[in-house]
Amino acid sequence: MSDELAVQQVLAHYVRAHDRRDGAAMGALFTPEARVTIFYSHTPDGKPEMIGEIAGREAIAGAVTHMMKPHPPRGWSHNATDGLLVDIDGDRATVDAQFMVFSILGDTKPASGWPAGAAGAMGTITPIESGYYHQKLVRVDGQWLIEWLQVRHNLPFAF
């Protein structure tokens, strides 16, 4: 596998761990000393507003497990990324990506079954977050790990 693909797959694993609220899987993507900084990018004065910072693999895993809102029954999230810009220099890499998170909520199937003529997916998909991920990665024992992640939200964000 090429380094570029391996680095892109770290982001793919990141968004899947995010959607599953899987702290252990998320933590495994980071170096022990990693940092995550979270910003709101579009303040009136144009200066990004720091929302929060999480330091260390264990704290990052714990935040995903304990601080992210659980999905409701029949609910899920889908964290979609696009526009990846990848730069690799030896054992270091950066990835910039756009993201949008969607909230997915399936309808409750009526006890009598779906109405006559009903077809397709039953429920709603609503965009709830958007922004940019900026990752700095390092290769450790042949594995690419995130050593720093900046999340830049396009909407104000309570943390």
Report if residue 86 sits inside a domain.
yes
Give me the numbers of helices (H) and strands (E) for the chain, helices first please: 3, 6
Residue 11: Cβ within 10 Å count: 22
Report if residue 158 sits inside a domain.
no
Tokens 């003529």 found at: 117
How confident is the model over 58-89, as pLDDT tens digits? 999 999 998 888 889 999 999 999 999 999 99
Q: What is the CATH number of the domain that holds 57?
A: 3.10.450.50
Task: Outline where the chain has alpha helix (H).
Answer: 3-20, 23-27, 57-66
Pairing of strands 123-140, 92-106: antiparallel
- The single-letter code of the amino acid at 86 is V
What is the 3-state secondary structure of the chain? CCHHHHHHHHHHHHHHHHHHCCHHHHHCCEEEEEEEEEEECCCCCCCCEEEEEEECHHHHHHHHHHCCCCCCCCEEEEEEEEEEEEEEECCEEEEEEEEEEEEEEECCCCCCCCCCCCCCCCEEEEEEEEEEEEEEEEEECCEEEEEEEEEEECCCCCC
Report if residue 113 sits inside a domain.
yes
With a cut of 90, say whether residue 129 has pLDDT above it. yes
Report if residue 28 sits inside a domain.
yes
Confidence at 138, pLDDT banded by 50, 70, 90: very high
Give the range of the structural domain holding residue 51, as residue numbers without chain letter. 3-153
pLDDT score, position 74 = 93
Domain count, the chain: 1
pLDDT score, position 159 = 65
Alpha carbon distance 76, 67 (integer Å): 16
With a cut of 80, say whether residue 56 has pLDDT above it. yes
Cα angle: 143, vertex 144, 150; to 5 degrees:
155
pLDDT score, position 157 = 76
